[in-house]
Amino acid sequence: MDERELILKGNLRKLLFKFSLPATIGLVVSAIYNVVDTLYVGHGVGSLAIAGLAIVLPIQILMFAVGMMIGVGSGSIISRSLGKNDKNKAIITVGNGIILNFLFSLIIMIPCYVFLNKILIFLGASKDIFIYAKDYMDIILAGFIFQSFNIMGNNIIRAEGRPAASMYVLVLGAVLNIILDPIFIFIFKMGVKGAAIATVISQIFSTLFIIFYFLFGKSNFKFYLRMFYLKNYIVKEILKIGFPSFLVSIVDSVIFILFNKSIMKYGSDIYIAIMGISIRVMDITIMPIIGITQGFSTITGFNYGAQNYTRVKLILKESIIWTTIISALSFLIIFGFPNLMLKIFSNDKNLISSGIIPLRITTIFFITLGIQFIGGSFFQAIGKAIPALILNIARQIIFLIPAIAILPIFFKLNGVWASLPLSDFLATVLTIIFIFNELKTINKLQLKEKKDCVTGTYNLT
């Protein structure tokens, strides 16, 4: 049984774990190296350095956004094309995705370099953390193209049904970064610059691995010149499907800016550092959910393309169950042991005591994350860009931004933290409504197929 037939006919639970486990391992390891980055900086440089890394998150999210937009858009087309056995369209999509990723990376990277000082001030960097943020970003921006290419390439490799290979991309970069971080930070005494250099070197090696995989590995997509000519209909479809992911990331950048400004208004630099640590802790717990979401997306795209609607519904149910279990366990760990989470990153007693309440507040509705992630991915996987866009922006734009603006007026700093669980709850309700409506549509398609089948059989007899 080949890969396509396995996805269309194999046991769904086994398939979900087969496709999710490599992605989950890779993502968790990737999150760990971000955590290790912050951990080494926290213990090697100090709490203000953590705040410096936290303040530049909006710029790093932009780097991530480009790769996700092109990767998700390309991946959806590739999965559905291979499900329909249209290999030619899948191959052209890969080439177009690579070109688009390069162009968008340059468009964002160059202005960031030119206006970096002004951008950091706009983001809310105080005098104490400005130097750390600038030292870090001066180097990290050099790796922009590599990071976005790695994210895009990872999505493409997974979309063609090679989850293990996609895992290797993430693991390679993560392991290298974990090894190089202490060398540059502690041995070479380079502080945050050392952390940035280690990250960029790791990204370059991951890029080389992806290129090697396409050229000499088991990929369906061997490079040839014709696939790199931009096709208007492919470009439009990539951007249409991938744009929700890009917009979500852009909104995330805006939200972090609002968070930073609200925190500085009602708190201090130490709370910027706490926010940075909170994000790293949440990254590790969210990554298994994203891993399952990515495995789910590939399986759903294949089966929806092949009109196996029953399997689409079954994999949706299975994925929601497992992501909810994971998010519930994550909630219990973070809510129950926030001081332990904080001690991993810093020995600063003030930071640890101040961070317990924020960590607990932000995770109150953590259990709902599985439904949110699966819901947005579901509509992207079946090629329905508008519902995907609405769900992907609802939490941030419709719910979170107003919450950040309103709640601190009444609850000060705690209102900033409380905006997250409130938006999680409201976004989950909206996601459930959209999923149920789409399932009604799928049920109608199945009923129509049955009627067509009966009519066809009747006419033949």
pLDDT above 90: residue 461: no
Q: Can you give the length of the chain in residues?
A: 461
- Longest Cα separation, the chain: 83
**Can you tell me which residue has the tokens 């130097």?**
131
Please tell me the predicted confidence (pLDDT) of residue 454.
Answer: 57
DSSP secondary structure string for all residues of 106-173: HHHHHHHHHTHHHHHHHHT--HHHHHHHHHHHHHHGGGHHHHHHHHHHHHHHHHTT-HHHHHHHHHHH
Please tell me the predicted confidence (pLDDT) of residue 224.
Answer: 76
Report whether 259 contacts 416 (CB < 8 A): yes
pLDDT, tens digit, for every residue of 182-215?
A: 999 999 989 899 999 999 999 999 999 999 998 8
pLDDT, tens digit, for every residue of 275-286?
A: 888 888 888 888
Most confident of 208-222, 343-357, 399-413: 399-413
Report whether 317 contacts 359 (CB < 8 A): no
pLDDT above 80: residue 23: no
Contacts by residues 405-411 (CB-CB < 8 Å, ≥ 24 positions apart) = 405/258, 408/262, 408/265, 408/266
Please report, for residues 10, 90, 204, 419, the alpha-carbon distance to residue 2 in angstroms, rounded to integers and kept in the order given.
10, 17, 33, 47
pTM to 2 decimal places: 0.75
Q: Give residue 186's identity as a one-letter amino acid code.
A: F
User: What is the pLDDT of the chain when averaged over all its residues?
Assistant: 88
pLDDT bracket for residue 1 (50, 70, 90) = low
Please tell me the predicted confidence (pLDDT) of residue 453.
Answer: 61
Distance CA 294, CA 322 (A): 13
Please report, for residues 126, 137, 267, 355, the alpha-carbon distance to residue 270 in angstroms, rounded to integers and kept in the order given.
11, 20, 8, 9
Structure tokens at 323: 């992501």
pLDDT, tens digit, for every residue of 111-151?
A: 999 999 999 999 888 888 999 999 999 999 999 999 999 99
Please tell me the predicted confidence (pLDDT) of residue 230.
Answer: 93
pLDDT above 80: residue 22: no
pLDDT, tens digit, for every residue of 223-270?
A: 777 889 999 999 999 999 898 788 878 888 888 888 888 998 888 889
Most confident of 14-18, 67-71, 457-461: 67-71
Please tell me the predicted confidence (pLDDT) of residue 341.
Answer: 86
Q: What average pLDDT does range 373-400 have in this prediction?
A: 87
